[in-house]
């Protein structure tokens, strides 16, 4: 259980790191803002036309007696919106990381150099387009896994009592795990760690992962909070990736004045 506290400390260290490196933090905000606008537009569109979509998908209910048609379609519309909202939470990090790959790659490398004893960082020899393709492919795999969990947990939510108590707690831990996978992928991909190896590595330190990702999952329920925490989350995930890989780390505070305003 000690790893729970260690994971949470990495989350705090990441936020402190970007707090000391203002320009890195500013650049890191842009992808989250873009993703937030896109997701907000999609949810607004669903709120406006979701009932029409449900009506089109359920023609068999046209001849039902009142009020059953309205109740049935209203329930399905609410379910559709709730599921879309849950998927937005689960996929927000993946989409933000995909949009902000160059930004977060630079930020993660800066963190590695800042805390490495020799001032170096692992670098990928792959072209940018290849890196984007690998990131998109791996993110899709993780999103599909997360979507399966989302549907399962959503269905379990209808169980009386447990669905309103135990299932939401499990949901936060599951979401925290997948958030951590996506965030550590930035640093681990540069180290040549494939997605299956990453998942195995994270499963071997579940309590560490939960300590980092679960509080973040709770915070990410508020979209604006997610945007402002993303740069620090990437920085903290890079520090945790070094721990997972057994790499030596020193306190990067001594280098802060030199790097504070370097893009």
Determine the average pLDDT of the residues in 7-11.
Answer: 92
- Is residue 50 a part of any domain in this protein? no
Q: What is the mean pLDDT of the chain?
A: 82
How far apart are the C-alpha atoms of 61 and 56, rounded to whole Å? Answer: 10
Q: What angle do CA 35, 12, 174 make, to 5 degrees?
A: 60
- Is residue 16 a part of any domain in this protein? yes
Q: What angle do CA 209, 210, 211 make, to 5 degrees?
A: 90
- Is residue 86 a part of any domain in this protein? no
Q: Are 113 and 120 in contact (CB under 8 A)?
A: yes
- Is residue 209 a part of any domain in this protein? yes
- Is residue 64 a part of any domain in this protein? no
User: Angle between the 68-99 and 166-190 helix axes, to the nearest 10 degrees?
Assistant: 30
Q: Which residues, 6 or more positions from 257, have their beta carbon under 8 angstroms from its beta carbon? A: none
Residue 96 exposed, middle or buried by CB count within 10 Å (0-12, 13-18, 19+): buried
- Is residue 70 a part of any domain in this protein? no
* More confident site: 252 or 94: 94
- Is residue 67 a part of any domain in this protein? no
Work out the pLDDT band at 254, boundaries 50, 70, 90: very low
- Is residue 75 a part of any domain in this protein? no
- Name the domain count of the chain: 1
- What's the sign of the alpha-carbon dihedral 153, 218, 114, 242? negative
Q: Domain of 159? A: 2-37+91-247
Q: Render pLDDT for 17-39 as a digit per residue (tens, 0 to 9).
A: 998 888 878 878 888 888 889 98
- Give the per-residue pLDDT at 11: 93
Work out the pLDDT band at 223, boundaries 50, 70, 90: low
């Amino acid at each position: 259980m000690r790893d729970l506290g260690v994971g949470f400390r990495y989350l705090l260290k990441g936020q402190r790191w970007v707090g000391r490196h203002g320009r890195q933090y500013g650049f890191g905000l842009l992808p989250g803002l873009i993703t937030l606008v896109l997701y907000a537009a999609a949810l607004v569109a669903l709120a406006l036309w979701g009932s029409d979509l449900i009506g089109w998908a359920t023609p068999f209910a046209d001849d039902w007696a009142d009020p059953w048609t309205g109740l049935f379609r209203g329930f399905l519309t609410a379910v559709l919106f709730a599921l879309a909202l849950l998927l937005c939470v689960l996929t927000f990090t993946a989409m933000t990381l995909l949009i902000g790959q160059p930004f977060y790659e630079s930020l993660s490398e800066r963190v590695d150099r800042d805390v490495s004893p020799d001032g170096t960082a692992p670098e990928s020899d792959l072209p940018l387009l290849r890196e984007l393709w690998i990131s998109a492919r791996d993110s899709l795999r993780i999103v599909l896994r997360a979507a399966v969990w989302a549907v399962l947990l959503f269905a379990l939510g209808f169980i009386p009592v447990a669905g309103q108590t135990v299932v939401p707690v499990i949901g936060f831990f599951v979401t925290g795990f997948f958030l951590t996978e996506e965030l550590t992928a930035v640093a681990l991909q540069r180290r040549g760690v494939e997605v299956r190896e990453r998942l195995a590595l994270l499963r071997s330190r579940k309590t560490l992962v939960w300590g980092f990702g679960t509080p973040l999952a709770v915070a990410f329920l508020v979209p604006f909070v997610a945007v402002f925490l993303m740069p620090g989350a990437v920085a903290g995930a890079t520090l945790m990736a070094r721990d997972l890989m057994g790499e030596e780390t020193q306190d990067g505070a001594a280098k802060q004045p030199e790097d504070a305003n370097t893009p």
